[in-house]
Structure 1
Amino acid sequence: MQAFPSPSSPLKRAVQATLLGACLSYAIAPVAALAETPSSDVQARDWNIAAGALADTLDQFARQAGISLSYDATSVAGKTSPGLKGRLAPEQALEQLLRGQSLQAQRQGNSTWLLLPQVADTSALNLGATLISGERLGATTDGTGSYTTGAVTIGKGEHSLRETPQSVSVMTRQFMDDQNVTTIDDVMERTPGITTYESPMGGKYFYSRGFKMLGQYQYDGVPLDMGKDYVQADSFTANMAIYDRVEVLKGAAGMLKGAGTASGAVNFVRKRPQAKPTTSLSLSAGTWDNYRTDFDTGGPLNDSGTLRGRAAVSQQNRGSYMDIAKRQDQAFYGALDFDLSPDTTLGVGASYEDVDATPCWGGLPRYADGKNANLSRSTCLGQSWNDWQSRRTTFFADVTHHFNDDWKIKVAAVHSRNLQDTKYAASEGTIAYGNPAPTANSYAALMDYNHKDFGLDAYVDGKFEAFGLEHELILGANGSRGTQDDVYAIQNLPKRQSIYQPDHHFPEPANNTFWPNMYRGGTVKETATQYGTYATLRLRLAEPLMFIVGSRVSWYENRRQSNNLAWGEWAVQDARTKETGEVTPFAALIYDLNEHVSVYASYADIFQPQSSYATADGAALKPKIGDNYELGIKGEWFDGRLNSSLALFRAIEKNGAETDFLSFCPTSADGYCYTDKGKVRAQGVEAEISGELLERLQLFGGYTYTQTKSLKNIDSTIEGGSSNTYVPRHMLRLWGDYQLDGALSKWSVGTGVNAQSSNYRVQTIKLEQAGYATWNARVAYRIDDTWTVALNGNNLFDKNYYNTVGTASWGNFYGEPRNFTVSLKGNF
């Protein structure tokens, strides 16, 4: 193993690119500063706002102060203002503008304020001690119209992307709306650096930086084990109508949860009740009978605005480019925020998501030598009685209390239960050359799944001064408990399936025939509990230099009881694993080159329990451990409306589970014995840009280069080769939307590309998908201030490709052919 990359290696070239990028970013900073909208100083400044209607003066003030100022138009109607002149601090200036107007200002966020009628006995402006910030986006993305965010919350507290010394991609509400992103699969397929891989049993696995993401999910920062050992791979049902944004961290996330890989974490941030009444309605129709309706409304529920509510409903019915496949999704969401006092807010919410589908799973075969058989993309080897029912109920609750302007505490909890009932048929078998009517073996599966997840997180976040500089401390604890109670059975069907002319009307086997006739199946009961404490200290060593150090101490306990039949062998497992006091440290340095550009370096540990696998002597495997290094440069332009980043990363995972396919261990999850000698490395470079690149141009995208390598393996012949061939070396995700000007100002146009280099799978033979690119576009027309109509087109050039490469006999899935969606959206 080389200690350093060779001069000609891709990593070496990437290092050179990073250094060049740093120099270029530093050089263009003065130019960008000239183009940037001047930011407001929170100290005293000169104001010159002419007298006139109060609404006009307030709007001018909001623009100059860089804040969002919301109010009921009737509260300012007919009122005039003497204007504003002189040198004042922003909060003093707003107080002067509102003097005598019977209005008071109430802070809703870092740069969001609400004007309310002044209540009796209130003569002073209700600003608190928080100063009005410059013209910056906040963490909430709903209603901003932006492809970037002012802050992320995945790491506790709120910090800008530039202040976060790891790679984070944020899928904002505007981006999801423009791209018709409705599911977690849609989100991950458009996230830079993420590879999706379709499971033959439904759903998709997600890979980041060459590693599979296992249970690395959060709801509003509360970690859960969802997605671990899941029937639908990692893509549990998640309707995006519920969420404000999705934050995707790439790299080790042990500080957030404890157990995890070097892949990353995903934080779903739900929509919150709004201070200003807002309602939206969206209707869409598209190819393959795809119809969707979204309704979202929220606002104050009392005169003082201390009680706010939000409700969202979504309904979608859609067919598929694959024969027989169809799906219906429903989602219902409701939430309340209640200000118990000016400093304390209680939030509660609940959601219900329902999926009723006829899926086409299993994928397609190829020729026996692995060559593409060029089957029609509509080919489905399933049955018309295929059925998938999924019902998820989730409850949210949190309370936030501000002790003062510098210190706050937040406690949040999430509970989710998912019930899944599935019955489907699929086929597998290779195709022989010259066979005019090839057939494949058919099988049917019956599944009953019951998963429950609970998570609790509490932390204190505060700022303090020392040595003339401001620092930040976060102290917290969290825990999660996940249970699964699963039953499944798979049996062969008596008829073989025609591959070229499938028959979708095989007799449906009765449910009571599965258990006595199964060749694979059984029961699984598992309970995983983990909890831990964490602390992060952000020390400002000097004005341009910040040192971040943190650590988490985790306790993990897992019990798995299974009784499984696999190809004639029963495996009975009752395994208990307990990890105590596992420490996952984190450290980083951030250096500000100037007001726009920072460089950073970070280090993080990982550990991942592997208790469901057993060694030859019956003992559970010890946890996988690893190291994650990252070096990068980040830019923040135009008061945070544009963010950019360039990062080098290297991750090494040790003690990975390796399967001994020639062995039998009845206490292991799948009946095979395992060793923990696996060692892999992933390294590469990531570049990303998000936000307003030019006036009226929103851009989101990134390029990722990933190189994986097997350093140690039970099969020594593959050492030195790629450890994950599913992940392409090169990947590009890019989308931009431009609002036209002048006579065409009601029009906007967008276009983008998803491109990647080749990937492959080796199972006795090599099956490869060559590199490809798919192009998408959007045209929108604003009918009036309320309604906008848009046309989206995907895969415009109708590229024929496999988005998942399986084996010669099953698991090959085509990407979607060309398709269109027309939508009508109204904001009230």
Structure 2
Amino acid sequence: MLNPWPYTLSVAVALATLASPAPVQAQELSFNLPAGPLGNTLNAIASQSGQIVSLEPALVQGKQAPAVIGRMSPEQAMNRALSGSQLQLRITGQGNFSVEPAAQDSGALQLGVTSIVERSLDPTSEGSGSYTPRTVTIGKGAHTLKETPQSVTVMTRKMLDDQNLNTIEQVMEKTPGITVYDSPMGGKYFYSRGFRMTGQYQYDGVPLDIGSSYVQADSFSSDMAIYDRVEVLRGAAGMMKGAGGTAGAVNFVRKRGEYTPHTQLSLSAGTWDNYRGQIDTGGPLNEDGTLRGRAVVTQQTRQYFYDIGDRKDQIYYGALDYDLSPDTTVGVGIAYEDVDATPCWGGLPRYADGSDLKLKRSTCLNTAWNQQRSQRTTFFGDMKHTFNDDWALKVAGVYSKNTQDMEYAFPSGSVPVGSTQSSTPMIGSIYDYDQTDYGFDAYVDGKFDAFGQQHELIVGANASHSRKDDFYAVALLPDRQDVLNPNHHLAQPDESYYLANASRGGPVDMRVKQYGAYSTVRLKLADPLTFVLGSRVSWYKSENEGVSYYRGEGTPLRSESRESGQVTPFAGILFDLNDNLTTYASYTDIFTPQGNYKTITGATLKPLIGQSYELGIKGEWFDGRLNSAFNLFRTVQKDAAQDDPACPDSSCSQNSGKVRAQGFEAEVSGEVIDRLQLLAGYTYTQTKVLEDADATQDGLSYNSYVPRHLLRVWADYALSGPLERVTVGAGVNAQSRNYRVSPISGNDISQSGYAIWNGRIGYRIDDTWSVALNGNNLFDKRYYATVGTEGFGNFYGEPRNLVMSLKADF
């Protein structure tokens, strides 16, 4: 039995010229769609051409479409996709497309003219074949990039697939405006506009406190196999989460079950025994398509360009979406991720004068008994209810449980200048890490009319809770390492050794609770002018209890921080210059509690505060298939925690410091010319210390890790004519010099500017199979991706490597 209510497969706006656009049906467009599920192909044609298509989901269930390649009208593309399907295309009286059974006997279903609603703002990037999104959801609701008065980059599914981006670290390394910095104890730090992005993560819009731990830095084990896209906001994000950081936020949007069956099988093999296999399948689970499912299974094993390092990942994901009614949909999902690895952490040391040891890039100074085991289970749940054409409610929740057990050792100490061997102390660590996070978000989004214009109102509330129940111990090991001739088989101590000889460590029990209410109103003051005004009222509480171990003895520690009724305002204004260009300006506050720091009198430090300003112009071209942006930004941050020079043992802090980051960003994403997809971003960042507890630092660079110039480019081009089965891609990650001032000698340990070139070539074998070869660091540039100190923390970037992948879509 077919679904009794009509299903709008896809809605998009037509490709247009800046002058009077021709009717969509008369235009010829270039299509490059491989064979695949019929519903997906029809959806892609609709998205590219801007045509509305209506049909019953059951009509296309289980049907395949042939490849649609070449230059043709949207009507011709639809007819080619429908060939052999026993379905036919009908053009409605409104000029829209309708798909019906081709049979004309008395038992055939005859569809009448369907009532079509206005343009959809569905932000799903799967199947779009685009490097730019139709809309973004990181700021609640669904708005185009041009309607968003802040800087947002979306890494779409096509971008993730084309560059083989499988981890959050890989995604952030290719995102415009983001600097990635290795932590000596594992994980990576992310910087945006000169500041660290600290735990500003969302799952489907629900904020969590994941990351920002000594064993994760700002990253964590999260495979991209289960996500449709990653939305990255640069700039203050206090409106999204009470303790909003200065740098930005990241929203992971998970995959959902589709209305048509689709399965993708992918296999890949690469340099350093890098093997990965994945099955991704989904579609309707009942006859009328009201119950839809999605399942993803991924396994990867790999070694690295350095000695002893290896890793095995297992990812399992399942999701269900059920339409309780045409107006209400509920969804649930579960993801399980397992990492079993032998890490190589700590990086490399340098000579005592800060000069480079010039070790082989394959050098790892860790022990072979290093181990890391991480297991994460995440539950998702949400509901969306549409009251009418203007108002909707969305409720979502996420629960995540992560356990990590680790033991590792690495050398810490510089090498005397001119030495041919060293006797460098080894630092060993054990960690038993458990973290539980859960979050909730609910909001009402609607439109209303007043003063002859239509406006939008969002009212909502969210909450997050994080608990870390950890134990760790760090101790100097009895054996030493020869940095110039490393031994990976130094003796492994038992746990009792760490406890008896710990230089730091102990149990840690930390709880962080945040909750608040928020509201945003978009007022259309005139046809070209929109005013965006928002505010969030937040409550925050953190409690930290533990015992500090030193040589087997423990000292109880406890700290607490509370903030009540903290108001974080946001204001923005947008002015449409014409149909394609919009100028904007925005302002938001910064608020980050610092309750874990104590003054010399034992008092809790005040929160870090600041202001963020942005002024820019955004463009939307070819009806959203291409987006552009340029902005100027300035952020002033003050009252950050700094060591108090009056404190005798460096255990107390003071509210001091005032720093400024400013610069500009330029970005282009989408189809710049026919068959060419591009994501390109350039960022100029200048940071400066305005006031510091140490007056000698005034006027110096605040964050020298972040390069002043940063360029991220990736493009993919589909050839035509006799080579229409071939796609080629190329890109570059380039940056200017960055450095770190050694806390020991005051030397600048620097990495000069560099450019890393990457490429891809793909070939569609037939209607099901395709193959691609990706190459990274094609010119085998030797460089340090992260610079540290004389003693440790210098990490080489990956040498040249290749990955061959084979995919089947059916």
What's the TM-score once normalised by structure 2's chain length? 0.89
| Counterpart residue number, 1:33 | 18
Rate the CA distance shift 1:765–1:297 in 2: closer, same or farther, 3 A: same
* 2:119 is aligned with 1:89: no
Aligned 8 A contact 1:651 1:682 in 2: yes
Deviation per CA, 1:635-676: give whole Å up to 9, x if none: 1111111111001100111111112366357xxxxx621111
| Counterpart residue number, 2:777 | 795
* 2:809 is aligned with 1:827: yes
Aligned 8 A contact 2:52 2:97 in 1: no
Aligned 8 A contact 1:605 1:625 in 2: yes
| Counterpart residue number, 2:194 | 210
* 2:177 is aligned with 1:193: yes
SS in structure 2 at match of 1:33? coil
Gaps of 5+ in 2: 1-14, 27-39, 64-81
Q: Distance in 2 between matches of 1:309 and 1:598?
A: 39
Q: Distance in 2 between matches of 1:793 and 1:56?
A: 29
Deviation per CA, 1:475-514: give whole Å up to 9, x if none: 0000000000111001111121011111000111112221
Aligned 8 A contact 1:40 1:65 in 2: no
- Once the two structures are TM-superposed, the CA of residue 79 in structure 1 deviates from its matched residue by 5.6
Q: Distance in 2 between matches of 1:143 and 1:467?
A: 40
Aligned 8 A contact 2:262 2:281 in 1: yes
Q: Distance in 2 between matches of 1:323 and 1:194?
A: 29
Aligned 8 A contact 2:44 2:127 in 1: no
Q: Distance in 2 between matches of 1:82 and 1:473?
A: 39
Rate the CA distance shift 1:539–1:563 in 2: closer, same or farther, 3 A: same
- Once the two structures are TM-superposed, the CA of residue 574 in structure 1 deviates from its matched residue by 1.3
| Counterpart residue number, 2:11 | none
Q: Distance in 2 between matches of 1:566 and 1:550?
A: 48
Deviation per CA, 1:393-450: give whole Å up to 9, x if none: 0000000000011100000000001000000110011112221112311121100000
Rate the CA distance shift 1:230–1:126 in 2: closer, same or farther, 3 A: farther
| Counterpart residue number, 1:768 | 750
Rate the CA distance shift 1:712–1:59 in 2: closer, same or farther, 3 A: closer
Q: Distance in 1 between matches of 2:340 and 2:294?
A: 26
Q: Distance in 2 between matches of 1:320 and 1:56?
A: 39
Rate the CA distance shift 1:83–1:802 in 2: closer, same or farther, 3 A: closer
Aligned 8 A contact 1:475 1:534 in 2: yes
| Counterpart residue number, 2:677 | 698
Name the % identity.
Answer: 56
* 2:706 is aligned with 1:730: no
| Counterpart residue number, 1:46 | none
* 2:343 is aligned with 1:353: no
Q: Distance in 2 between matches of 1:58 and 1:681?
A: 46
| Counterpart residue number, 2:726 | 747
- Once the two structures are TM-superposed, the CA of residue 57 in structure 1 deviates from its matched residue by 12
Rate the CA distance shift 1:80–1:397 in 2: closer, same or farther, 3 A: closer
Aligned 8 A contact 1:225 1:481 in 2: yes
Rate the CA distance shift 1:664–1:280 in 2: closer, same or farther, 3 A: farther
* 2:259 is aligned with 1:275: yes
Q: Distance in 2 between matches of 1:413 and 1:59?
A: 31
| Counterpart residue number, 1:424 | 408
- Once the two structures are TM-superposed, the CA of residue 519 in structure 1 deviates from its matched residue by 1.4
Structure 1 stretch displaced more, 140-149 or 452-461: 140-149
* 2:118 is aligned with 1:131: yes
| Counterpart residue number, 2:601 | 617
- Once the two structures are TM-superposed, the CA of residue 89 in structure 1 deviates from its matched residue by 3.1
| Counterpart residue number, 1:263 | 247
**AA of the residue aligned to 2:788:** G
**AA of the residue aligned to 2:287:** D
Q: Distance in 2 between matches of 1:300 and 1:31?
A: 35
- Once the two structures are TM-superposed, the CA of residue 571 in structure 1 deviates from its matched residue by 5.5
- Once the two structures are TM-superposed, the CA of residue 569 in structure 1 deviates from its matched residue by 9.5
Q: Distance in 1 between matches of 2:181 and 2:204?
A: 26
Aligned 8 A contact 2:16 2:22 in 1: no
Aligned 8 A contact 1:490 1:519 in 2: yes
- Once the two structures are TM-superposed, the CA of residue 620 in structure 1 deviates from its matched residue by 1.2
4+ residue stretches of structure 1 with deviation over 3 A?
34-41, 55-65, 67-71, 73-85, 97-103, 122-127, 565-572
SS in structure 1 at match of 2:607? strand
Rate the CA distance shift 1:821–1:83 in 2: closer, same or farther, 3 A: closer
Q: Distance in 2 between matches of 1:723 and 1:58?
A: 49
Aligned 8 A contact 2:243 2:591 in 1: yes
SS in structure 1 at match of 2:166? coil
Aligned 8 A contact 1:138 1:149 in 2: no
Q: Distance in 2 between matches of 1:346 and 1:371?
A: 59
**AA of the residue aligned to 1:725:** S
- Once the two structures are TM-superposed, the CA of residue 123 in structure 1 deviates from its matched residue by 7.8
- Once the two structures are TM-superposed, the CA of residue 66 in structure 1 deviates from its matched residue by 1.9
Structure 1 stretch displaced more, 395-404 or 64-73: 64-73
Rate the CA distance shift 1:101–1:562 in 2: closer, same or farther, 3 A: farther
**AA of the residue aligned to 1:621:** L
SS in structure 2 at match of 1:496? strand
Rate the CA distance shift 1:560–1:58 in 2: closer, same or farther, 3 A: closer
**AA of the residue aligned to 1:803:** A
- Once the two structures are TM-superposed, the CA of residue 100 in structure 1 deviates from its matched residue by 10
Aligned 8 A contact 1:534 1:550 in 2: yes
User: 2:768 pairs with 783, 786, 791, which one?
Assistant: 786
RMSD value, Cα: 2.7
Rate the CA distance shift 1:576–1:123 in 2: closer, same or farther, 3 A: same
Q: Distance in 2 between matches of 1:784 and 1:690?
A: 29
| Superposition pairs of residues 73-472 of structure 1, within 5 angstroms | 84=91, 88-89=93-94, 93=96, 127=115, 130-132=117-119, 138-472=122-456
Corresponding pairs, count: 757
**AA of the residue aligned to 1:66:** Q
| Counterpart residue number, 2:73 | none
Q: Distance in 1 between matches of 2:655 and 2:510?
A: 22
| Counterpart residue number, 2:12 | none
Aligned 8 A contact 1:648 1:685 in 2: yes
SS in structure 2 at match of 1:252? coil
* 2:801 is aligned with 1:814: no
Rate the CA distance shift 1:426–1:401 in 2: closer, same or farther, 3 A: same
- Once the two structures are TM-superposed, the CA of residue 466 in structure 1 deviates from its matched residue by 1.5
Structure 1 stretch displaced more, 551-560 or 516-525: 516-525
**AA of the residue aligned to 2:408:** Y
Q: Distance in 1 between matches of 2:695 and 2:393?
A: 52
What's the TM-score once normalised by structure 1's chain length? 0.87
- Once the two structures are TM-superposed, the CA of residue 229 in structure 1 deviates from its matched residue by 3.0
* 2:694 is aligned with 1:715: yes
Aligned 8 A contact 2:591 2:610 in 1: yes
Rate the CA distance shift 1:84–1:493 in 2: closer, same or farther, 3 A: closer
Q: Distance in 1 between matches of 2:601 and 2:43?
A: 75
Q: Distance in 2 between matches of 1:688 and 1:497?
A: 47
| Counterpart residue number, 2:60 | 72
Aligned 8 A contact 1:463 1:472 in 2: yes
Aligned 8 A contact 1:57 1:81 in 2: no
| Counterpart residue number, 1:45 | none
Rate the CA distance shift 1:35–1:691 in 2: closer, same or farther, 3 A: farther
| Counterpart residue number, 1:49 | none
Rate the CA distance shift 1:493–1:68 in 2: closer, same or farther, 3 A: farther
- Once the two structures are TM-superposed, the CA of residue 40 in structure 1 deviates from its matched residue by 9.5
| Superposition pairs of residues 482-521 of structure 1, within 5 angstroms | 482-521=466-505
SS in structure 2 at match of 1:196? strand
- Once the two structures are TM-superposed, the CA of residue 766 in structure 1 deviates from its matched residue by 1.4
Deviation per CA, 1:119-160: give whole Å up to 9, x if none: xxx987775x72355xxx841011111111000000001000
